[in-house]
Amino acid sequence: MGSGGDVPFNSKFTIYVVACWILAAFGGLMFGYDIGISGGVTAMEDFLIKFFPKVQERKLHAKEDNYCKYDDPLLQLFTSSLYLAALAASFFASKACTILGRKRTIFLASLFFLGGAGMSAGAQHKWMLIIGRILFGIGVGFANEAVPVFLSEVAPVQHRGAVNILFQLFVTIGILIASLVNYNTSTVHPYGWRLSLGLAGIPGVVLFFGSMILTETPASLIERGKDGKGKSALKKIRGVDDVDDEYEEIKKACEVAKQVKQPFKKLMKRESRPPLIIAIMMQVFQQFTGINAIMFYAPVLFQTMGFKNDASLLSAVITGSVNVLSTCVSIYAVDKCGRRGLLLQACFQMLISQVAIGVILLVFLRNTGTMNSSLAIVVVILVCTFVSSFAWSWGPLGWLIPSETFPLETRTAGFAFAVSSNMLFTFLIAQVFLSMLCKMRAYIFFFFSAWILAMGIFVYFLVPETKGVPIDAIVERVWTQHPVWKKYMDNKDDNGGTKAMEMA
């Protein structure tokens, strides 16, 4: 039952461990709610009249360019400031995960979420809106760092993919809830937007109390010298008393981790490059599929195609529902089909969808006027096919793969790079998408299509399969056997000399 074997460690499902998975995953629901709520809020007239009256004037102008009516840097900053804050917070969250543990880091995330909800809902000035978004962003940085690592460390190896994808499932549920909230609050004048932003406090409360119920992960406890508590926690989450084999493997990984005093420095070493490169590139590619451009601004995008305000919000609800259902497909398939197969299939489906959307908009949507309603519905269907393929592949696997491919000694530091990379490129897309839409028009979909093609090539040659591999045996069973990455594991330093054990 050791790391070299294919027999899973002893475990059984218990109500408690399932509750831990669900409560931790509420950190993903908060992230998804933040993604989904901003696009709907920025399409609400009451919100625009109060904070962005010039945008509202442009929107109402009969001859205004369809592609440019929402192009406003401050309006984009309202959405993107969250992700800039999350980028900076992720590195502090990495330290918190190591020093305080995963559980307390999730607790801190809930406090920032609650602060962000209160500040945003009560905002009277633009600076209050931005501060609220920054508080949300810090919460996102802490939650996105701690929750996927927590889920990977408490999940049985044979179900690790499915358990970790609960994070992304709750992200999609959060997006759907935000779309439903926006659809209903858009008719509540003049404070519908306040309700939309303030209701983020509800999942924040659930995460706050849920973090008190969670157990700390065995790896975190043992890494911090609490061996007895670590073994007890392992018995608790596995639901069995016979955990000696798994406990010894975790303890061995922790002993190696303790020798590394500077994990961020260790990440710069040759043998750390494979998981680091993959973790960062997975986040870059995830954002350059164009998914967040669509999910942030789905109501805006559908208005551009000629839908009225209510119809555009309803279309966003439809895509949000597809997002949730397709993520459930990933929960079923990831530990059966593997990671690589889902990623490659999705690249093919997303490429077709993006190119088709671009062609239809290029040919049929003029700068002024609206698109034929039948064609607009076809575009919504294509958006749904795009969202579905992303939701069972790059969405959840963008978080799963980095959370399971780093050894324990660099796991939280490495995942901090994954989170920060995700937030950096999410920020860039959120900040420039509406301007890109104005300048590039329909060609923006061809821009994202080129990135999807590059993603498929990257996966085919460089992303290893990690299905069924114990999390603390990834180095021996994945990196040292990969045709490209194994040369980084050859016990040589950067200058080709024999490398002593790194005790950085």
Beta pairing partners, 123: none
| pLDDT at 407 (0 to 100) | 87
Instruction: Give 206-250 pLDDT, tens digit per residue.
Output: 999 999 999 999 999 999 999 999 999 999 999 999 889 889 988
Report the percentage of the chain scoring pLDDT > 90: 47
Instruction: List the alpha helices (DSSP H) in 52-157.
Output: 53-60, 73-99, 102-121, 126-154
What type of residue sits at position 52?
F
Gyration radius (Cα) of the chain, Å? 23
Q: Rounded distance, CA 250 to CA 89, Å?
A: 28
Partner residues linked to 498 by β-bridges:
492
pLDDT single digits (tens) 454-494: 999 999 999 999 988 888 788 888 999 999 999 988 654 44
Angle at 501 between CA 497 and CA 504, to 5 degrees: 105
Question: Among the ranges 11-25, 37-51, 81-95, 108-122, which has the highest mean pLDDT value?
Answer: 108-122
Label residue 351 by pLDDT band (50, 70, 90). very high
Residues 143-183 pLDDT 10s: 999 999 999 899 988 888 899 999 989 998 998 898 889 88
Higher-pLDDT residue of 83, 71: 83
> Are the C-beta atoms of 400 and 161 separated by less than 8 Å?
yes
Instruction: List pLDDT tens digits, range 427-437.
Output: 888 778 778 87
Q: How far is CA 329 from CA 22, 316, 324, in A?
A: 18, 20, 9
H or E element in which residue 461 lies: helix 443-462
Distance of CA 89 to the CA centre of its chain: 15
DSSP 201-213: HHHHHHHHHHHHH
> Chain centroid to CA 142: how far?
12
Distances (CA, A) of 205 to 64, 96, 98, 180, 500: 43, 21, 24, 20, 49
* Tokens of residue 245, six digits: 């084999």
pLDDT tens figures, 82-141: 888 999 999 899 999 999 999 999 999 999 999 999 999 999 998 899 899 999 999 999
Taking the whole predicted model, whether its pTM rises above 0.85 is answered as no
Tell me what pLDDT residue 330 has.
93
Q: What is the pLDDT of residues 410-428, one digit of tens each?
A: 888 999 999 899 888 888 8
Q: What is the DSSP letter of 62?
A: T
